Amino acid sequence: MRLDGLLLTGGGDLDPGTFGGVAHDQNYSVSPERDRFEVELVRGALAAGLPTLAICRGMQVLNVALGGDLHPHLPDVVGDSVTHRASQAEAALHPVRVESASALRQQLGADALESVPSWHHQGVDRLGAGLRPVAWAPDSVVEALELAGEPQVTAVQWHPELAGAGREGRGLFEALVERATTYARSRG
């Protein structure tokens, strides 16, 4: 099978055992098998230089695959001044500040997003090797990551595919398609 790009989607929580964490009573839809598969998938994609867009859980998987870990329940760490998830069935909306010198800013065409659909309660704690934060919620929760030397990798904690993400969200998918097309051409 030949892949020209990878989209890592959202979903249930990562098993805290995947990153050496402790289970939390708010963990839901945990699948250790999915965790192991996606961590290895990310490692293979990075080794191949595959264009990758990681969304929500996907960003968390990327961080864990590179040796990072997660806060198991953000409200325990940052409080509830920003709602990152309204419920397991409903997204929340909050603003995001984007680093102006980041590749993400070029893809989005904006230094700030007024309202992104957010649907998570876990979040990046210790960064994986080579990752750097490039966007933050008002409570300083990391909302996007870039990987040093790997411009084909974009990771966001919010859901650009959901209604309410705005035209900026479309830019992330357009960038993935453009990079995947270039990658495919380079392979012949």
Catalytic residues: 56, 159, 161
Distance CA 149, CA 89 (A): 37
Cα dihedral 38, 124, 69, 33 sign:
negative
| CB contact at 8 A, 38 and 46 | no
User: Among the residues of 49-141, which ranges form H helices?
Assistant: 57-65, 74-78, 103-108
* Radius of gyration of the chain from its Cα atoms, rounded to whole angstroms: 16
